[in-house]
Structure 1
Amino acid sequence: MHGMVPNSDGSTPVLVRRLARGYLARHRRGIGLALLFTVALAGLTALYPIVIQQGFDRFAAGDSSIAWLIPPVIILVTCLKALAQYGQAVAVQAVVLRVIEAIQGDLFRALTRADLAQVVRDAPARHASRFTVDAAAIREALTKTINGAADILTVVGLIGSMVWLDWQMSLVAALLYPIAVLPILKLGKRIRRASGGMQDRMGEVAAQLTESFSAARVVRAYRLEAQEEARAGRAFAQLRAALLGIARTRASLDPMLEALGGVAVAAVLAFVGWRVASGQGTVGEFTGFVAALLIASRPVRALGSLNAALQEGLAGLSRVFAVIDAPRRITDAPGAVPLPAGRGRVAFEDVGFHYEGTPDAALEGLSFVAEPGQTVALVGPSGAGKSTALALVPRLYDATAGAVRLDGADVRQVSLGSLRDAIAYVGQDAVMFDDTAFANIACGRPGATPEQVEEAARAAAAHGFIAGLPQGYATPLGPAGGRLSGGQKQRIALARALLRDPRVLLLDEATSALDAENEALVQGALARLRQGRTTLVIAHRLATVREADRIVVMERGRAVEQGSHAALMAADGLYARLVRTQAFGGAEPVTAG
């Protein structure tokens, strides 16, 4: 994305370089503004010890005329520092949030364009956790890293003040703080490893919760409440253990730095006591130096904890880039051409297909032809490969043997955009977006006019109930179309397909879960939708099968019988057995799936 070269290397330098070049480089002006405020903040902080030293020494010298100016100067420095602090915080967040927005956009783009096999491999909630958990970790790391620049400049400024006040005391303090570097780096590595595990646990918990809530009816019907509670309890316990492991490691940083700071202050005080006793320093220098040392303890501690946040962010960044970089197999072939003109002739030629990671073939030697305008019904036992066959036409998956042809062209050799523009799909579960009725239909053909959308809705017997909604076509349908009945959702899905005006219609028959009244309305809309189009339908009802021009009977990924209903019944093969054993009465399913 954005010209970045896919890279599986998750090492820190590679991740940081990619983040800087691919995202931060676009915000040079914002980063420059943040640095300007940062320099001002660091400089004003470094002034404190010098102002304090001047005040004490002026008082000690009896120069009261200038000494009384010190309190107003301190107030002025404090106010300017507060303004710089506010400006820096806002400037940093403006840059960080834009970077996170860009990363989330790239991640979403990668997932929406990824192969279907890659997307279905993980639960939706696990994908969602990358936009929340991982993004939060990256945001925290970026914020602390940019703030770390302010802390470094502040410490440098304070070191300058300390050296100016007393270089010998500065040397004592400087020898103590670097001792903390090694344990901080070691703890950072542990945190990065633990953070990866914690982010995985959070994804698993989110996926399990989504699964449990979506299965609410089954959980109650089968009295699985206790089982689900126990399963969730185990997931929560694993997440707690992962979070506690990180918390313990992170919690050890601040006390370690606090103790080190105490040792540094004690050592400086002992050294200063010896110097004051021998008459080698002033009270102002001593007070200013200790003030600088104490002021420096906060940014030093922040720099110590920076590595921990950075490692968590890098773990999240590594996971996000792994998704963005995942290679796509379903892409335009080199030299892909637009789909040639035609009327929608679909041919399966000795097609074979294996799902990744499964030894058995989902399809093997599947051959049949759907002539332009014909309706071809795929029937067979559950697991026969019907849904897989449908998925190969729009290249949701690619055949691993043989070829699927549309109007004479191998679907793998034409551009993906032109292929999918020629196809519409309507499934048993009508997919609705949390948008208006108009938008849910218009997505079938982006840019469609209101008149075209209404015409499609009328043809799908949907205009009547849409017009009766509170805001008509502008009515939001809610998440997953929750404000509509099953029949209404199906008719909107059919209107979407009609608006697309496809050559080929793929139906995982849309009426199997509807009541008689809704089924009649949807069947009428389906009849209009099929007119003049090649239709491949996974048939669940005898009425649909009888209407088909050709029936392809599938078993174990093969077409074992083909023909009309009458011819197949006369052959007394698998199809005839399915019809008899399922006891069709016009509404009973041909198969389970």
Structure 2
Amino acid sequence: MAIDPSSRALIARLGRDYLGHHRRGILLAILCTLLLAGLTALYPIVIQQGFDRFSSGDTTIAWMIPPVIIAVTCLKALAQFGQAVSVQAVVLRVIEGVQNDLFRALTRADLAAVTADAPARHASRFTVDAAAIREALTKSINGGADVLTVIGLVASMVWLDWQMSLIAAVMYPIAVVPILRLGKRIRRASGGMQERMGETAAQLTESFGAARVVRAYRLEAQEEGRAARTFAELRASLLGIARIRASLDPMLEALGGIAVAAVLAFVGWRVAQGEGTVGEFTGFVAALLIASRPVRALGSLNAALQEGLAGLSRVFAVMDRPRLVVEAPEAQPLPAGQGRIEFADVGFHYAGTAEPALEGLSFTAEPGQTVALVGPSGAGKSTALALVPRLHDASAGAVRIDGADVRAVTLASLRDAIAYVGQDAVIFDDTAFANIACGRPGVTSAEVEEAARAAAAHDFIAGLPQGYATPLGPGGGRLSGGQKQRVALARALLRDPRVLLLDEATSALDAENEAFVSAALARLRQGRTTLVIAHRLATVRDADLIVVMEAGRAVEQGSHARLMAAGGLYARLVRTQFGPAEPQPAA
């Protein structure tokens, strides 16, 4: 089977990085395979001996043949079981390793690279692509067993009658050319099918996630139409592959039938010439028929292999995607300090966009100060916040914490010094304790409870069925929005950061929950440098510094009173929200 250089590289990498770690399991599979192939090849010879002994009248030995057949069959069954289990043990461990490496690559990839695709598309690589790789790997390893079995059966045929073996030898190689051509078509079609699978998963996730909007706006028919088109495209892709794969077995079946017919015709001619024995003929046909299954399996191997290689190519492409946010070779830990943040003439471009997201942004947050970033939507506030923990890297200028450029320090020390609380509190499908403790692994129960009390979360957590050991469900489904936010604040408090990043942390809450969360935020901000984004300007009235942003630039800076007196963009935003009345200080 011809393999192109890219496929060879993929197979070599799979063997080096994954299969090479399971030599013991592979050795066991090889031993079982050799035993299975040898016993299968022995079967036709036992049949030939039985028929010839009976035909010659040697009944003493002939009656021993049935027990021998039973023994061979039982041993073959044991070898088959051992081979199947050992192969799957190796294959599943390899797939587990690939999935772990893929997940590690995605969790450590640049934020921009991960958000470029819908979550369902990423998930499909762990399911659809992994299934294709698993099937290809299983069939490839089993293909080795099939090759050995066919070699053993060919040896049996040659031993029984070398002339009849030539007839069979001529037939099956004819199928190689169409098999290889079909394999190339399947690999091309597999790429489209995997793409359709990813699109289907993404569309379903999006539609079910928007269930409230779909019903409120009566979009059921629209979503059903969208889903129907997606399912039709998926069906067409799957049917295309099914058509190609379905042509393999009938082609090999027909060739097998022609081979048997040719052998029978040749045997008829030889019998007419008075040559050969019934046992030889029976054993040979048995070997030929037994060989049909592994030969068909080898014929379909290329199709499965091409699909698996297509999936492997996509998975390795994700693993090999170069990261833009990387640690400098000489990176040092973040120096000790109180959390002074400086944006020095910072610029930033998102990939593929002409307009800068940030341009010439400069401001300083002194230790312990609260600096608010305000401005219209699209002004670049969230982008500026993302540069502090290096979710993105500045294209120009520098972001410094305690005098150190964030690009020159280790990522671990940088991010350990920062806590982030966003508008949508992230709650993992784990216990309340684990959701808080992940802010600082290795903490005690007392420290978790202390953080929960400071975040006004202890009372409702204690009231859960199992207290802190209660699973909170996917996305924190057991909690209200305000409760989720307080759990997120407890996580940030436990982290004890020198820098706190708040992105609309109270904007989605009702008045009562906002009061709870605002009080917890006030405790969290004490002694820490805080950058806060807020569209509700009443929440930033008492900030030490307000940076007003527009089109990626800082157009105004100062206190609330000073900016109101200046009558610029900030004053207009305040009047737009509150009219002529002054906003009251946040609780």
**How far off its partner does 1:67 sit?**
1.0
Contact 1:542 1:589 in 2 (8 A): no
Most deviating of 120-129 and 579-588: 579-588
User: Which of 15, 20, 43 is matched with 1:20 structurally?
Assistant: 15
User: Which of 371, 375, 388 is matched with 2:370 structurally?
Assistant: 375
Query: Which residue of structure 2 aligns with residue 6 of structure 1?
Result: none
Most deviating of 542-551 and 142-151: 542-551
Q: Does 1:444 align with 2:436?
A: no
Q: Does 1:248 align with 2:243?
A: yes
Secondary structure of the 2:283 match is helix
Query: Which residue of structure 2 aligns with residue 307 of structure 1?
Result: 302
Whole-Å separation in 1 of the counterparts to 2:585 and 2:307:
52
Unaligned ranges ≥5, structure 2: none
Contact 1:115 1:330 in 2 (8 A): yes
User: Which of 26, 30, 34 is matched with 1:35 structurally?
Assistant: 30
Alignment coverage as a number of residue pairs = 582
User: Which of 458, 461, 479 is matched with 1:463 structurally?
Assistant: 458
Whichever residue aligns with residue 224 of structure 1, its letter is: L
TM-score, normalised relative to structure 2 = 0.98
Residues 118, 412 of structure 1: alpha-carbon distance in 2 compared, 3 angstrom cutoff? same
Q: Does 1:543 align with 2:538?
A: yes
User: Which of 95, 99, 113 is matched with 1:100 structurally?
Assistant: 95
Query: Which residue of structure 1 aligns with residue 395 of structure 2?
Result: 400
Q: Does 1:510 align with 2:505?
A: yes
**How far off its partner does 1:353 sit?**
0.4
Contact 2:541 2:585 in 1 (8 A): no
Task: Write out aligned runs for 1:416-427 (5 A).
Answer: 416-427=411-422
Secondary structure of the 1:547 match is coil
Secondary structure of the 2:427 match is coil
Q: Does 1:555 align with 2:550?
A: yes
Whichever residue aligns with residue 411 of structure 2, its letter is: L
TM-score, normalised relative to structure 1 = 0.97
**How far off its partner does 1:547 sit?**
1.7
**How far off its partner does 1:174 sit?**
0.3
Deviation string, structure 1 residues 348-393 (Cα, Å, up to 9, x no partner): 0111000000111100111111100000011000000000000000
Query: Which residue of structure 1 aligns with residue 84 of structure 2?
Result: 89
Deviation string, structure 1 residues 439-485 (Cα, Å, up to 9, x no partner): 00001011111111111101000011111111111110000100000
Most deviating of 460-469 and 219-228: 219-228
Whole-Å separation in 2 of the counterparts to 1:371 and 1:217:
44
Query: Which residue of structure 2 aligns with residue 209 of structure 1?
Result: 204
Secondary structure of the 2:426 match is coil
User: Which of 45, 48, 54 is matched with 2:40 structurally?
Assistant: 45
Deviation string, structure 1 residues 169-202 (Cα, Å, up to 9, x no partner): 0011101110000100110000011111101110
Whole-Å separation in 1 of the counterparts to 2:168 and 2:197:
42
Whole-Å separation in 1 of the counterparts to 2:226 and 2:529:
47
Query: Which residue of structure 2 aligns with residue 500 of structure 1?
Result: 495
Whichever residue aligns with residue 84 of structure 1, its letter is: A
**How far off its partner does 1:16 sit?**
0.5
Q: Does 1:278 align with 2:273?
A: yes
Unaligned ranges ≥5, structure 1: 1-8
Contact 1:392 1:399 in 2 (8 A): yes
Secondary structure of the 1:576 match is helix
Q: Which runs of 4+ in 1 moved over 3 A?
A: 584-590
Whole-Å separation in 2 of the counterparts to 1:324 and 1:280:
64
Contact 1:582 1:588 in 2 (8 A): no
Whole-Å separation in 2 of the counterparts to 1:506 and 1:263:
75
Whole-Å separation in 2 of the counterparts to 1:205 and 1:568:
50
**How far off its partner does 1:219 sit?**
1.1
**How far off its partner does 1:587 sit?**
8.6
**How far off its partner does 1:588 sit?**
11
Percent identity of equivalent pairs: 83
Query: Which residue of structure 2 aligns with residue 483 of structure 1?
Result: 478
**How far off its partner does 1:164 sit?**
0.4
Whichever residue aligns with residue 206 of structure 2, its letter is: E
Contact 1:373 1:534 in 2 (8 A): yes
User: Which of 62, 69, 76 is matched with 1:74 structurally?
Assistant: 69
**How far off its partner does 1:509 sit?**
2.3
Task: Write out aligned runs for 1:350-389 (5 A).
Answer: 350-389=345-384
**How far off its partner does 1:228 sit?**
1.0
User: Which of 147, 171, 182 is matched with 2:166 structurally?
Assistant: 171
Q: Does 1:318 align with 2:310?
A: no
